[in-house]
Chains A and B, each alone.
Chain A
Amino acid sequence: MKKVIRLVSVQLWAMLGSMFAIGEQKKKKTDALYVGFAVFLILMSVLSFIYAYGTGMGLKQFGSIELLPSLFMSLTSVIVLFTSIYKVKGTIFGFKDYDMVMSLPVSHSQIVASRLILLYAINIVFVLIIMVPMMMAYGILMEPGIQFYIFSLLMLFLLPLIPIIIASFLGTILTYLSMRFRYSNIVYMIFSFLLLIGMIIFPYFMGDSEQALMEMSQMINRQINNIYPLSQLYFEAVTKGNMVSLLIFVLVSLLAFMVFSMVVGKVFKRINSVIMTGRFKANYKLKGLKSSSPLKALYIKDLKRYFASPIYVMNTGFGVVMLVIGAIALPFIDISKISGEFDITGTIKDLIPIIITFCIATSSTTMASISIEGKHIWIAKNLPITGLQIFASKILVNATIIAPALLASVFICFIMEMSIIESLIVLLSALSFSLFVALYGLVINLSFPNLSWSNETVIVKQSTASMISVFTGIGMAGVQFLLMMVLGNAISGILIFIALLWILNFALYKRLSNSGGRQFEKL
């Protein structure tokens, strides 16, 4: 156990160092970053509390307030599960310091355990942000005894273990299956997307037509258990003070952790060896080469780099994939059936631009496009090309990734029977926002680069650049929504949003052309 803790501490500090790595490591900038991160955590906790309190009030009306902890526990677990599956490759398998770690006198299962704890560390912050405010909200609404707080705190730290293990198990299977294929990364990504989409869609097919007849609290309870069976143990322990449930929960979590470490420890070396070695044929014969312009060469190189990283694709492509699937599914969905007696077609129409903006906001590839160069940055810096050519290539890659979302937007407008003017405005909004996302991501990544990463997950998911980029993007979707609400007219709101985007796009472009090249040279 001592060795595992030592391994974890080294890897954890390396990860935290990478997360907060910023360009020149100026003290002032680093301090500002820590303060910014603390403010962000507090803000998210406050939002979480408001959400928990609101949900608690709603449940109280139905006399089901005791379901609040298990509801939040299930939702947190499901989110941890979803977001951890595609972190497996890069954290447990195919991580950069594999050679160094494997040369140490520690067993494979100890290494797996240390990597699992690393995943745990990544997730526990998120769990705390959700669950602690929930405990406070529940405390105010229910005024439970001290036992609730003790049991909740104890279980809170074990809560992410099982979802991480399930995610790691599924991730291991995905990695194992995909490594048999020549283009294993592509296969891994397709499998991952299918799995995630399947997990999202599956509960709808499990729907019970008689649910409406059941008592509200029973229905919610059943749904929670459908989402996550362990929540029943949590429910019994936290709200009813059942010690046996608590012990079973603790035992199941710890046992699963140990068993998984041992089992995966058996295939750990084999899978990693296949992933790390690559294919070797040594039968190449020189044949006619195709030449292209420098920009096209850069673009193809950057596009190949993007698709060589499953975590990068999964993290920045999911919004686009969901929008495309949504667009394809739309003709088969009967909106009147969902809404019942209320006509919500108009509301959905108004929400479409927001949904499109939201999906595009999560699809910034440029926010990590400089950092992903990593130790290869010397090549780009040594080539006889300008910074603007490099930036143009990265923006083109982002445009390529977002392009299906734009096509899906056109299709959605058509299905929703929007007028040509409405459709054009929605499309213009999507186009303008796509450009914003690409330009903004690049500006942010140039300001907060991280070239010394040892794990792609850090720069794609946990870096300062990625967090600022994604949350600003989502914030922009909020701005669009507010504009539409304040003006009371969706079209006017979108038009002002488009105007705002073009002002921002122009400012970002000027920033890149004036000082971007210099920033790149200084990397």
Chain B
Amino acid sequence: MLSIVNFSKSYKGGKKAVDSLNLEISSGDIFGFIGHNGAGKTTTIRAIAGVLDFEEGDILIDGVSIKKDPVKCKKITAYIPDNPDLYDHLTGIGYLNFIGDIYEVSQVDREQAIEKYAGALELTSNLGDSISSYSHGMKQKLAIISALIHKPKLLVLDEPFVGLDPKASLTLRNIMVELCRDGSAIFFSTHVLLVAEQLCNKIGIIKDGKLVAYGPTKEVKGDSSLEDVFMELIETGNSIM
């Protein structure tokens, strides 16, 4: 579903944010992307989502290059950034309807999706209010609902649990599992290693723009906890590939 081939991205000034990254995510995978602050997680995620332009390497979604046919890739992808700044001048329902129109989701399908996910995340009663009045968590919930409206084949999330209350966090985890059971793939970054350990069947650890661990969760962590493995990799500079 997602192939990242020799992807590199440099900052202005020459320093590489991501250096020759190679990854493969299949349908049904929940991939956890872990790394310290500034390791290159968000850069990678933004490039997959088609938000960040890049020159080196390629990113293929369902076999299509995001560089060559971004619209086709975006049709089957959904992206939630770490800080979802949504259109403040719209109401919650106005925003969801806008997304439904852009992805050309039928009226029946979008109503069903909104009813299901807004209900699960307890946001239905707030959908008539202006987004400008929303808290960070409410915006996060709205971004999640908008990402699910068109049943994406690939869901890309940057720190999705930040700002969510415990109940909403659990709901999101259940939604992620359900989506993967239905054949979608999920790529998400997180600092909550316990969640990654429990939720992901694949893990990638990035350090200073380079992948230092990658594979099935069981293989990456072995008999240790993911936290121990992460700390060791970050401090020693070893790799598990």
Give the number of residue pairs across the A-B interface with Cβ within 8 Å: 112
CA distance A375 to B85 in the complex (A): 7
Contact A292 B101 (CB under 8 A): yes
* Chain B CB within 10 Å, residue with most, of A280, A294, A378: A378
**Chain A nearest Cβ from B70, distance in angstroms:** 8
**Chain A nearest Cβ from B96, distance in angstroms:** 8
Q: How many residues of A are counted as interface, with CB atoms below 8 angstroms from the partner's CB atoms?
A: 40
Contact B106 A282 (CB under 8 A): no
Residues of A within 8 Å of B105, CB to CB, are 291
CA distance A379 to B49 in the complex (A): 10
Q: A284-B93, A286-B118, A289-B107 are in contact. Are A305 and B87 (CB under 8 A)?
A: yes
Residues of A within 8 Å of B102, CB to CB, are 294, 297-298, 383-385
Residue of B nearest to A283 (CB): B125
Residues of A within 8 Å of B229, CB to CB, are none
Contact B74 A286 (CB under 8 A): no
Q: A284-B125, A290-B97, A375-B85 are in contact. Are A383 and B74 (CB under 8 A)?
A: yes
Chain B 106-164 residues near chain A, CB threshold 8 A:
106-107, 110-111, 114-115, 118, 124-130, 132-133
Check A376 for interface membership: any CB of B closer than 8 A: yes
Chain B interface SS verdict (over half): helix
Chain A 280-311 residues near chain B, CB threshold 8 A:
280-286, 288-294, 296-298, 300-301, 304-305, 308
CA distance A290 to B94 in the complex (A): 10
Check B214 for interface membership: any CB of A closer than 8 A: no
Chain A interface SS verdict (over half): loop
Contact B124 A278 (CB under 8 A): no
The contact of B89 among A286, A305, A384, A521, by CB within 8 Å, is A305
Residues of B within 8 Å of A382, CB to CB, are 49-51, 74, 79
Residues of A within 8 Å of B74, CB to CB, are 382-384
Residue of A nearest to B110 (CB): A289
The contact of B103 among A280, A384, A521, by CB within 8 Å, is A384
CA distance A181 to B133 in the complex (A): 16
**Chain A nearest Cβ from B100, distance in angstroms:** 7
Contact A279 B130 (CB under 8 A): yes
CA distance A285 to B128 in the complex (A): 8
**Chain B nearest Cβ from A378, distance in angstroms:** 5
**Chain B nearest Cβ from A224, distance in angstroms:** 43
**Chain A nearest Cβ from B48, distance in angstroms:** 10
Chain A 286-341 residues near chain B, CB threshold 8 A:
286, 288-294, 296-298, 300-301, 304-305, 308
Contact A291 B53 (CB under 8 A): no
Residues of B within 8 Å of A300, CB to CB, are 98
Contact A378 B85 (CB under 8 A): yes
Check B86 for interface membership: any CB of A closer than 8 A: yes
Residue of B nearest to A25 (CB): B12
CA distance A275 to B57 in the complex (A): 47
**Chain B nearest Cβ from A510, distance in angstroms:** 21
Contact B51 A301 (CB under 8 A): no
CA distance A286 to B70 in the complex (A): 33
Residues of A within 8 Å of B51, CB to CB, are 378, 381-382
8 A-B interface contacts by CB (under 8 A): A286-B118, A291-B100, A294-B104, A304-B89, A304-B90, A378-B81, A384-B72, A384-B73
A-B interface, 10 closest residue pairs, ranked by CB to CB distance from nearest: A284-B128, A297-B101, A278-B133, A308-B89, A384-B74, A384-B75, A278-B132, A375-B85, A284-B127, A381-B51
